Amino acid sequence: MIAADTNLMVRILVDDPGQPEQVTIARMLASEAKQIFVAQIVAVEVVWVLQSAYKLDKLAIVQLLEHLLHNSAFTLQAEDHFLAALILFKKYNCDFSDCLIATESQSANCTLITFDKKLSRLPGVKLAKPNG
């Protein structure tokens, strides 16, 4: 098993016409390793790159995240948290990173407090307000 950073994961997942050599190398390494560990921070960064650099819409990103979840070649760090965050991401208008933060907070039996109104709509998350 190898661990992939964000750049390698993006090249495995996306046919980048600007980086054909990197795509080939990344996919060859993945094929040879047969198993790829994906850290949570890498999953978060992959989503950010897919949105910002590749301009993929939410549906395409959800499909790629589901591919990571269901393809046995990928071992996800805290897979249960990844799945819970993916469910929130599909249901709510929040960033995947925020969904993962909410999931991690709940798993630690904490209420997540935020100034982000969109994030505050997630279960177990509260909008920061002054007391009284």
Strand pairing partners for 2? 36
Q: Calculate what percentage of the chain has a pLDDT beyond 90.
A: 95
Domain residue spans of the chain: 2-77, 93-132
**pTM for the whole structure:** 0.90
Q: What are phi and psi of 73, to 5 degrees?
A: -75, -15
DSSP string of 65-87, one letter each residue: HHHHHH-TTEEETTHHHHHHHHH
Closest to 100 measured CA to CA, from 63, 51, 46, 22: 46
- 132 has pLDDT over 80: no
Cβ contact 85:96 at 8 Å:
yes
Based on DSSP, count helices (H) and strands (E) in the chain, helices before strands: 6, 5
Helix (H) / strand (E) element for 2: namely: strand 2-3
pLDDT in tens, 72-117: 999 999 999 999 999 999 999 999 999 999 999 999 999 999 999 9
